[in-house]
């Protein structure tokens, strides 16, 4: 109780400062702007990006919606998982999250006030089809997403919709082991069909899956995401085979994508005129040394991590390196399947946060988990000669390496012949997970610097010809970060967990001004 009233006072204090800063700014716009421009000349500007470029922010259903059992939604795999083991640091889960299911209008208001041109969100499968393809469509779920889409469009914000962002009805797991079973492909295509049918008149940018590469590895190799399957030495799970299951799961996901794209192209595209893509977790791999072996291991890392998803959807088969190293363990595509898969995406969604060094394991001793075919006999490490690749963040294996975004974009541009790209996620979380002082959390100068520097390098890749069409900050607001619970914070907005109040951080103010084509110093006057 005491804590709560103290924090309320702090919020009020910061709100007032924020309003004061805005008034100051508005009252002295041109003068202030001119002075800042001279000082901050090197900073990236919105005019460094093409016209029509989509600047936005992203969230996902389980991480923000809450309302986990309202209006006939069924339990998802994440609901079940977090209720049984307790997910976050303190056993936190997404039951309430950011209460976005009830506060979405306010959140769209926030997006509008920032001047966002696009918003990326995902559909909760368990809300739309609580029992998968064997049950009825839930009208309340359709109504919820219709309201979001309509209100976004009313505000001139383009909806980018992800159909599958890690969560699906638990019933599909219980009935047939979800993604380990090819039946999941048909279930997914049915979900996508419902989405196109009900939302496709207004949604023009679809992505089928969010980060299937991270999902398969976390859920089926490391066993840390539901259904928590794995085998030694990767982890200690009740069941699973880390050397094989991730390949089967990816095979089903890739085929589900192919069949969905076919459906969209045949049944909807002509009338609705949208496009369809997929979102891949894209670490930038950098050779640890310039030895031939480490350079080859780095190419293999790209093939095993990124090519595993994109090669089939663009060229119709897994990368050569995977065939070489996995042999008969790699599932096969039939001629007909290859035909469906080839050219089944209109754009590539890139989630990029970090770069990492890559080290060969074919000719040196690595950890038991790296030294395996499923990993391409390579290891990733953060240090070279005792120096970290970049500053640490709140997520293990994520370091601040701004140039990495230029490098990954150029690599993807080259390998996939400059297919249109969107940066569907990029963001910063502070390593200080136990920071509770709201004034310190709001003064997120490092997040501002992170986005400025990554955007500078992104602009450079675009000047060099990369067809990148949008950039989404992860995330609009602090939310439920899976296994990290609520302690890892990526948001432009701070969310008070007791009151659900959204408070703009310095980064939100910076983003707003950036989008207004104003350069802005990191230390806003009133914060300094």
Ligand X SMILES: *[C@@H]1O[C@H](CO)[C@@H](O)[C@H](O)[C@H]1NC(C)=O
Residues with a known catalytic role: 211, 425
Pick between residue 109 and residue 317 the one whose CB is nearest to ligand X: 317
* Distant-in-sequence, close-in-space partners of 280: CB < 8 Å, separation ≥ 6: 211, 212, 213, 306, 309, 310, 348, 349, 350, 351
Among 27, 90, 236, 365, indicate the residue that binds ligand X (CB under 6 A).
27
Peptide bond into 460 cis (omega under 30): no
Minimum distance from residue 306 beta carbon to ligand X (Å): 22
Stretch that binds ligand X, among 26-34, 119-127, 138-146, 466-474 (CB under 6 A): 26-34
Among 363, 367, 383, 464, indicate the residue that binds ligand X (CB under 6 A).
363
Pick between residue 36 and residue 340 the one whose CB is nearest to ligand X: 36
Pick between residue 272 and residue 443 the one whose CB is nearest to ligand X: 443
Of the candidates 234, 243, 256, the residue with the CA atom closest to the CA atom of residue 330: 243
Residue ranges in 65-136 assigned as alpha helix (H): 77-85, 100-114, 125-128
Contact letters for ligand X, residues 483-522 (x by CB under 6 A): ----------------------------------x-----
Q: Are 75 and 124 in contact (CB under 8 A)?
A: no
Stretch that binds ligand X, among 23-31, 91-99, 255-263, 315-323 (CB under 6 A): 23-31
Neighbour-count burial of 290, counting CB atoms closer than 10 A to its CB (0-12 exposed, 13-18 middle, 19+ buried): exposed
Q: Are strands 383-384 and 387-388 parallel, antiparallel or unpaired?
A: antiparallel
Tokens of 368: 């038991």
Minimum distance from residue 223 beta carbon to ligand X (Å): 23
Among 10, 21, 24, 295, indicate the residue that binds ligand X (CB under 6 A).
24
365 forms part of the interface with ligand X (CB under 6 A) = no
Stretch that binds ligand X, among 1-9, 25-33, 74-82, 405-413 (CB under 6 A): 25-33
Q: Are 223 and 237 in contact (CB under 8 A)?
A: yes
41 forms part of the interface with ligand X (CB under 6 A) = no
Contact letters for ligand X, residues 292-331 (x by CB under 6 A): -x----------------------------------x--x
Minimum distance from residue 135 beta carbon to ligand X (Å): 33
Query: What residue has token string 């959140």?
Result: 107
Rounded CA separation 396/102 (Å): 33
47 forms part of the interface with ligand X (CB under 6 A) = yes
Among 332, 391, 437, 464, indicate the residue that binds ligand X (CB under 6 A).
332
Contact letters for ligand X, residues 401-440 (x by CB under 6 A): ----------------------------------------
Stretch that binds ligand X, among 22-30, 108-116, 150-158, 416-424 (CB under 6 A): 22-30
290 forms part of the interface with ligand X (CB under 6 A) = no
For 371-434, the DSSP string reads: SSGGGTSEEEESEETTEESSEE-SSTT-EE-THHHHHHHHHHHHHTTT--EEEEEE----S-TT
Site residues for ligand X, window 60-79 (CB under 6 A)?
none
Tokens of 321: 């390196």
Query: What residue has token string 């799970």?
Result: 237
* Distant-in-sequence, close-in-space partners of 396: CB < 8 Å, separation ≥ 6: none
Q: How many CB atoms lie within 10 A of CB 320?
A: 11
Site residues for ligand X, window 444-463 (CB under 6 A)?
445
Q: Point out which residues bind ligand X (CB under 6 A).
A: 24, 27-28, 31, 37, 45, 47, 293, 328, 331-332, 363-364, 443, 445, 517, 523, 527-528
């Amino acid at each position: 109780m005491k804590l709560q009233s103290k924090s309320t006072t702090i919020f009020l204090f910061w709100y007032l400062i924020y309003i004061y800063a805005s008034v100051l700014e508005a009252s002295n716009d041109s003068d202030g702007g001119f002075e800042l421009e001279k000082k901050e000349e090197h900073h990236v500007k919105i005019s460094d990006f093409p016209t029509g470029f989509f600047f936005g922010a992203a969230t996902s259903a389980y991480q923000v919606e809450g309302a986990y059992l309202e209006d006939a939604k069924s339990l998802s795999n994440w609901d079940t998982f977090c209720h049984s083991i307790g997910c976050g640091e303190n056993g936190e889960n997404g039951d309430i999250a950011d209460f976005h299911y009830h506060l979405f209008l306010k959140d769209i208001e926030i997006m509008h006030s920032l001047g966002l041109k696009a918003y990326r969100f995902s559909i909760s499968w368990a809300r739309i089809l609580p029992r998968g393809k064997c049950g009825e469509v839930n009208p309340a779920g359709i109504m919820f997403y219709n309201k979001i889409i309509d209100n976004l469009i009313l505000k001139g914000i383009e909806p980018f919709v992800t159909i599958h962002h890690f969560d699906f009805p638990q019933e599909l797991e219980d009935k047939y082991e979800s993604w380990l079973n090819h039946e999941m492909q048909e279930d997914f295509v049915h979900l996508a069909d419902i989405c196109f049918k009900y939302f496709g008149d207004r949604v023009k940018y679809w992505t089928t899956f969010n980060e299937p590469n991270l999902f398969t590895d976390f859920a089926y190799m490391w066993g840390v995401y539901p259904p928590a399957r794995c085998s030694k030495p990767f982890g200690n799970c009740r069941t699973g085979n880390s050397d094989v299951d991730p390949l089967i799961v990816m095979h089903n996901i890739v085929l589900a994508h192919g069949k969905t794209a076919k459906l969209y192209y045949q049944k909807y595209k002509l009338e609705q005129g949208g496009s369809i893509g997929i979102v891949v977790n894209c670490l930038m791999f950098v050779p640890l040394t310039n030895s031939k072996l480490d350079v080859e291991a780095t190419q293999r890392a790209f093939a095993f991590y990124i090519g595993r998803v994109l090669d089939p959807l663009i060229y119709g088969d897994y990368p050569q390196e995977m065939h070489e190293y996995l042999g008969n363990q790699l599932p096969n595509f039939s001629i007909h399947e290859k035909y469906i898969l080839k050219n089944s995406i209109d754009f590539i969604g890139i989630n990029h946060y970090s770069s990492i060094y890559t080290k060969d394991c074919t000719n040196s001793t690595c950890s038991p988990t790296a030294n395996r075919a499923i990993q391409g006999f390579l290891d990733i490490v953060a240090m070279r000669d005792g120096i970290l690749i970049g500053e640490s963040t709140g997520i293990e294996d994520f370091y601040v390496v701004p140039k990495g975004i230029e490098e990954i974009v150029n690599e993807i541009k080259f390998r996939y012949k400059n297919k249109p790209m969107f940066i569907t996620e990029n963001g910063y979380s502070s390593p200080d997970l136990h920071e509770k002082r709201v004034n310190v959390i709001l003064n997120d100068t490092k997040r501002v610097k992170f986005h400025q520097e990554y955007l500078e390098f992104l602009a450079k890749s675009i000047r060099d010809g990369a067809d990148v069409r949008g950039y989404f900050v992860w995330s609009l607001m602090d939310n439920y970060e899976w296994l990290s619970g609520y302690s890892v914070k990526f948001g432009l907005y701070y969310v008070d967990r007791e009151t659900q109040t959204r408070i703009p951080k310095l980064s939100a103010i910076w983003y707003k001004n950036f989008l207004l084509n104003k350069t802005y110093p990191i230390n806003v006057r009133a914060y300094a």
